[in-house]
């Protein structure tokens, strides 16, 4: 297994303790973290999409092509109240949710097209809103 930054190692160690993960579960999560990190840093083709849910939260996705499907590598939730949630390899899950483990499906999810530039404008700027 490859090394992760110290803060990321600490985050997952704490999460494993709080969740009571078995050693096997911790290894499986670690393998997932490394896969998502490698895809995030890699050069595979990308796609982006966005949808607003019934509560008014904007969900934006970046996915990389891997083994015949679009694997979500970054997921951003921007709630109407300004709360921002980022899921990616450094934070696959928290007490509120997690990076989707489903292959991205534009049609089934009702995603609107989104450019890379717009995705990263939102990822980098918490004031951005899909519905504004």
The Cβ of residue 104 has, within 10 Å, a number of other Cβ atoms equal to: 22
pLDDT band, very low/low/confident/very high, at 110 (cuts 50, 70, 90)? very high
Which tokens in the block code for residue 38? Answer: 């490698």
Domain ranges of the chain: 6-124
| pTM to 2 decimal places | 0.89
Residue length of the chain: 132
C-alpha span between 82 and 120 (Å, rounded): 17
* CA distance linking residue 11 with residue 62, whole number of Å: 23
Query: In angstroms, rounded to a whole number, what is the distance separating the alpha carbons of residues 32 and 120?
Result: 23
Nearest-angstrom CA–CA distance, 12 and 87 = 13
Strands (E), 2-128: 46-52, 58-66, 69-78, 84-87, 112-113
- Per residue in 20-72, pLDDT (tens digit) is 999 999 999 999 999 999 999 999 999 999 999 998 889 999 999 999 999 99
pLDDT of residue 1: 55
């Amino acid at each position: 297994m490859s090394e992760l930054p110290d803060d990321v190692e600490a985050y997952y160690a704490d999460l494993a303790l709080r969740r009571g993960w078995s050693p096997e579960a911790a290894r499986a999560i670690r393998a997932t973290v490394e896969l998502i990190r490698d895809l995030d840093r890699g050069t595979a083709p990308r796609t982006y999409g966005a949808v607003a849910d019934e509560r008014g939260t904007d969900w934006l996705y970046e996915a990389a092509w891997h083994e015949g499907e679009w694997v979500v590598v970054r997921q951003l939730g921007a709630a109407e109240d300004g709360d921002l949630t980022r899921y990616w390899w450094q934070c696959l899950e928290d007490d509120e949710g997690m990076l989707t483990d489903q292959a991205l499906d534009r049609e089934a999810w009702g995603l609107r097209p989104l450019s890379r530039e717009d995705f990263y404008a939102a990822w980098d700027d918490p004031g951005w809103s899909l519905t504004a």
